[in-house]
Structure formats: C-alpha cells, structure tokens
Structure 1
Amino acid sequence: MKKSSLIDSCWLKNKVGIFLTGIFLQSPGYAVAEMEFFSIADSAVVMYDAPSLKADKLFVADRHLPVEVVVDVDGWAKVRDSSGSLAWVEKKTLSQQRFVVVTVPLASIHKSADANSELVFQAEENIVLEWLDSDSKGWVKVRHSGGQAGYVKVNQVWGS
C-alpha cells in the first residue's frame, strides 16, 4: 500500500470511528453531561472503573467531595475529581449541593470579593468548602464547615 493510501485509510477509519462514537453517545441511556459539578452525598462511596457494581473498585470517596460529571449513563455517572482522576459512581450517591476543594497550599478567604478586604480565614490545600455562589467575577463565595463564610479567588479552588 502506498504511503498516501495508508494515511487516507487511517483518516477514513478515524472519521468512521468519530461518526460511530457520535451515534453511540446519542443512543438512549447514554449521554455526555454538560460538565456539571456535584458532590458525593454519603460517606464511603465506592468509585468504580466501569458503570457496574461488578466492576473493579478504584477507591472510596468521602462525603462532600466535589466532582464534575463528564458522562451520564442510566443510573451511573462518570466523574472527575480535582486531581483529574476519572471513575464511575452510582448517580444516587451524588448530591446537587456543591462544594469546592482548595488546590493551593494556603487559600485566603476574604470578607468580600476583594483581595484588600478583611481576611476571614485561611484554608489549607485539600480542605473542602461549601460553594455558595460564583456571582463575583474571579471569586467564589464559600463556607467552612465551622460556619465562617467569605470569598476565595476562583484560581485557589476546584469545583466552581
């Protein structure tokens, strides 16, 4: 086979694969989510490598872990966490209550959406905070489990 024919053949196979993937994704019971954020609703939720209780268990997620749904299948959601890891969870284990996780060594939470405003508290990396609002450009309103609330820069957290 000539080199150009091989390239043309590979290109055609890729196009067919993309076309078939598009058909598959549009079939009933399988949909790509619109990149929505949720949280884990219960303590000790098992994360799987496929959408089945018989699939391999990857790890256990704790309550309030923020996740982004990337694929939605009947009863299951493929989710991404702040590290970029992907896993499947039963949709019934997800909550619409949103949380964010601190992704920098020390995030500063201010009284208002202004770096010059009063510092309310600081949160260390991997601390989960309740997401309250994202109406201020570049800032997220959050609440600590202890009740303190304020604004953190969006680039210091994941899940907003």
Structure 2
Amino acid sequence: MLSAPLRLRLIAGSILMLASCTAFAFDFKTVGPRSVILYDAPSAKGGKLYIAPSGMPVEVMLSYGEWVKVRDASGDLAWTEARGLSARRNVIVRVAGARVRAAPEENAAVLMTADKNVLLELIDPEAGPWVRVRHRDGISGYVKAADVWGI
C-alpha cells in the first residue's frame, strides 16, 4: 500500500504529465535552403538514413538540444539538426490531381491541378477545410486541406 504523500505525488505527477501532453502541439517546418541529412539518432555519428531536399515539409516531434526528431509525409521518423530547418511552411500534395481554386469553395474556378508529391508554399497556416497556397510558378489559390500534408 502506498503512503498518502506518495499517492498524492503520483497523482500530481500524472496530472502534470497529461496537461503537458495536451498543451504540446506538433510544429511543422520546412527544410531550409540547403538539403539536410536525416539520421537514426540525434548525432552526426548516427546512421545516415537519407538526404531531405530543400523545401521538404517535416513535422517536428521532439527537440533534444540542437537536434530535432521529425516525421516526413510518409510517416518515417528521423533526426536532424534544428539549424537546417526553416519556419517557412510548405505542404506536399497527397492525392493525384489536387485542384487549386480561386476561392475556398468547391464551385470556384480551378486555377491549376497539382500532381501527387508537388510542393506548395503555405501562404495562410490557418487550418480549416481549405488552405491558401502558392505554386513555385506564382499561381496562388486554395486547396482542400485533406489533399495536402504539412498543416
């Protein structure tokens, strides 16, 4: 049987842990102007998994000193140095033929169709049923949030 003070500490610790988990929101970043190496551990001595190209969106899962654990669009987890990431936001198209529209509505004019895995710059990070994006050719409009990854 646990003593009353120990039980109280366990309950308080559990509440704090749950509160910190719900308050923490994952953060999306983009690989900066230079490609970065993704490792299996938070160290340059770790095993090299692959090179992430400039502009690739990643989800930051955990920070550990100067290193961050990230998830890519396919769900793979890896470590990279935080300094290689940018606050600029890109998204990647998850479906074939995602339509970028002139307004955030289904009957708005189609400005372009983006193939699967095309990178789009996220102009407005407010998540809703539609997000505002810009293609590298300068075309900007709205795409369904469900059709892209990185928000």
Determine if contact 1:43/1:61 at 8 Å carries over to the other structure: no
- Classify 1:111/1:36 alpha carbon distance in 2 versus 1 (closer, same or farther; 3 Å): same
Determine if contact 1:101/1:157 at 8 Å carries over to the other structure: yes
In structure 2, how many angstroms separate the alpha carbons of the residues matched to 1:56 and 1:38?
Answer: 23
* Alignment of 1:70 onto 2:61: yes
CA shift at 1:45, angstroms?
Answer: 1.0
Q: What is the alpha-carbon root mean square deviation over aligned residues?
A: 2.0
In structure 2, how many angstroms separate the alpha carbons of the residues matched to 1:103 and 1:35?
Answer: 19
- Classify 1:135/1:51 alpha carbon distance in 2 versus 1 (closer, same or farther; 3 Å): closer
How does the TM-score come out when normalised to structure 2?
A: 0.82
Q: Supply the AA of the counterpart residue of 1:89.
A: T
Q: Supply the AA of the counterpart residue of 1:112.
A: A
Determine if contact 2:127/2:145 at 8 Å carries over to the other structure: no
Match of 1:117 among 108, 115, 123: 108
Q: Supply the AA of the counterpart residue of 1:103.
A: R
* Match of residue 43 from structure 1: 34
Identity of aligned residues (%): 40
CA shift at 1:111, angstroms?
Answer: 0.4
Q: Supply the AA of the counterpart residue of 1:146.
A: D
Q: Supply the AA of the counterpart residue of 1:123.
A: A
* Match of residue 51 from structure 2: 60
How does the TM-score come out when normalised to structure 1?
A: 0.78
Match of 1:105 among 96, 102, 121: 96
CA shift at 1:42, angstroms?
Answer: 3.0
In structure 1, how many angstroms separate the alpha carbons of the residues matched to 2:48 and 2:42?
Answer: 11
Gaps in structure 2 of 5+ consecutive residues: 1-13
Determine if contact 2:120/2:135 at 8 Å carries over to the other structure: yes
Determine if contact 2:95/2:148 at 8 Å carries over to the other structure: yes
The 4+ residue runs of structure 1 with deviation greater than 6 A are: none
* Match of residue 87 from structure 1: 78
CA shift at 1:134, angstroms?
Answer: 4.0
Q: Supply the AA of the counterpart residue of 1:72.
A: S
Secondary structure class of the residue paired with 1:92? helix
In structure 1, how many angstroms separate the alpha carbons of the residues matched to 2:33 and 2:139?
Answer: 23
Gaps in structure 1 of 5+ consecutive residues: 1-18, 27-32
